[in-house]
Amino acid sequence: MAQKPSIPKGTRDFSPAEMTNRNYIFDTIKSIFRLYGFQPIETPAMENLSTLMGKYGEEGDKLLFKILNSGDFAAAPSDQELLERNSIRLTNKISEKGLRYDLTVPFARFVVQYRNDISFPFKRYQIQPVWRADRPQKGRYREFYQCDVDIVGSDSLLNEMELVQIVDQVFSKLKINTVVKINNRKILAGIAETIGEKDRIVDITVAIDKLDKIGLEKVNEELLEKGIPQDAVDKLQPILHLSGSVSEKLNQLELAIGQSGIGAKGIAEVRTLFAYLDTLELTTEVELDLTLARGLNYYTGAIFEVKAKDVAMGSICGGGRYDDLTGIFGMPNVSGVGISFGADRIYDVLTQLELFPAATADSTKLMFVNFGAAEEAFCLPVLAAVRKAGINAEIFPDKSKMGKQMTWANNKKIPFVAIVGENEMAQGKINLKNMLSGEQQLVTAQELIKILSA
């Protein structure tokens, strides 16, 4: 007896039911991406290690899945290199390729490689799996899909506005109530500059973030403990007291950090973006959140984060503007902005809130029971007509017991079953059973198509 088959830890199989739900998410997202003029690209699962290494920090390098060179790889290292057993150095000798770790670096590589063919601004989306040799745990996988949309080669804040619109439309369509939090790296830089602590952006942002939880006094204590001088903490106080609407907050910020060039620029960007957003009819809430600090090491302008309101879950979408994505591959000064949808988290939200639709494009709508050759001959032309009308339908392929066939339809969540026996054939009609209500009705082929098309 062969061993029970399994898959590598941290990876997943997706059943038809799961795929149907996943496709519902991806198809929804893609349809909105397209509505806004974004087009798909795909890159290979394997990239040269020279493309990937050094882009995700030392820890990231370790989390890359490396592909063993084909053929006689063991011939390459010297005896000494082999016996040294230094896995990192040995990897360089026996592996040249790795699985992509995210879609950002391959996208940057793509933009640089095809810079002469691309018409900038370049609007692309990309939905593909990525692989990380992370320790698997609940909600963290070694293979998972990323779903990125970016525009590179344009400074216009219209792009930020359209990304918020995309977020709004995607989650409206998915029926998830969200809040979009917006920050701007330049404002954070302006705050740090104003209080004379340029390099402490992160510490300051983390402290601001705790304001609601631990109160002003404790925040100030923490800042001092972290080595921010008393006068800097003093200067920070007005910013810790921001209140009111977005425009009121921006006015207060202007007073506090308007002297800083970069701070003023950040305030202007946020003002413009919110002015754009004010003209739109958004379903989502949008708020200015100065504590938003994701991706501070690469975002240079807007920072976005989206949270679902009716469920406790981390962010389900996020992104921002970066001014030097392609610099690592020798093409500096190409500004871009993008966001990434967290498909697995969105899946969990839709599951928890029971928002997956009962039927999608993947579902079968009608099954014909198979009673044997004569009934089959009657049913097949009707089945063909149903399909011609664009309705997903099938006939049970074997003349099995009725109970087995009905159970099969039930398991596949097929909402209608056509039962044709001798009586029905004699009348030239079909007994159509609604699997949810149990209701049955005798109909002609045309009537059947009409009911199913409704």
- Enumerate the known binding-site residues for L-histidine: 102-104, 132, 146, 150, 294, 298-299
Residue whose CB is less far from a copy of itself, 1 or 312: 1
> What's the one-letter identity of residue 323?
D
Residue whose CB is less far from a copy of itself, 94 or 206: 94
Q: Give least dist CB 44 to a copy of itself, A.
A: 4
Residue whose CB is less far from a copy of itself, 312 or 373: 373
User: What is the C-alpha separation between 362 and 263, in angstroms, rounded?
Assistant: 50
Residue 182 pairs in a beta bridge with 288, 304
User: What is the C-alpha separation between 314 and 81, in angstroms, rounded?
Assistant: 45
Question: Residues near 449 by Cβ (< 8 Å), separated by ≥ 6?
Answer: 385, 386, 389, 391
Residue whose CB is less far from a copy of itself, 7 or 454: 7
CA dihedral sign, ordered 216, 218, 220, 223: negative
Task: Please give the radius of gyration of the chain, using alpha carbons only, rounded to the nearest integer.
Answer: 29
Q: Give least dist CB 136 to a copy of itself, A.
A: 11
Give exposure, 398-422, as e/b (b: 16+ Cβ within 10 Å): eeeeeeebbeebeeeebbbbbbbee
Angle (CA) 364 366 369, round 5°: 120
Residue whose CB is less far from a copy of itself, 42 or 310: 42
Instruction: Count CA atoms closer than 13 A to 87's CA, side-chain side.
Output: 3
User: What is the C-alpha separation between 156 and 269, in angstroms, rounded?
Assistant: 10
Q: Are 125 and 39 in contact (CB under 8 A)?
A: yes
What residues form the annotated binding site? 102-104, 132, 146, 150, 294, 298-299
The DSSP code for 161 is H
Residue 114 pairs in a beta bridge with none
Q: Give least dist CB 85 to a copy of itself, A.
A: 4
Residue whose CB is less far from a copy of itself, 251 or 392: 392
User: What is the C-alpha separation between 171 and 29, in angstroms, rounded?
Assistant: 9
User: What is the C-alpha separation between 92 and 294, in angstroms, rounded?
Assistant: 32
Q: Give least dist CB 103 to a copy of itself, A.
A: 12
Q: Give least dist CB 446 to a copy of itself, A.
A: 18
User: What is the C-alpha separation between 106 and 308, in angstroms, rounded?
Assistant: 29
Helix (H) or strand (E) holding 263: helix 261-278
Q: Give least dist CB 428 to a copy of itself, A.
A: 17
Residue whose CB is less far from a copy of itself, 86 or 352: 86
Length reported for the chain: 454
Residue whose CB is less far from a copy of itself, 79 or 217: 79
Nearest Cα to 257, choosing from 238, 275, 244? 238
Q: Give least dist CB 274 to a copy of itself, A.
A: 15
Q: Give least dist CB 37 to a copy of itself, A.
A: 3
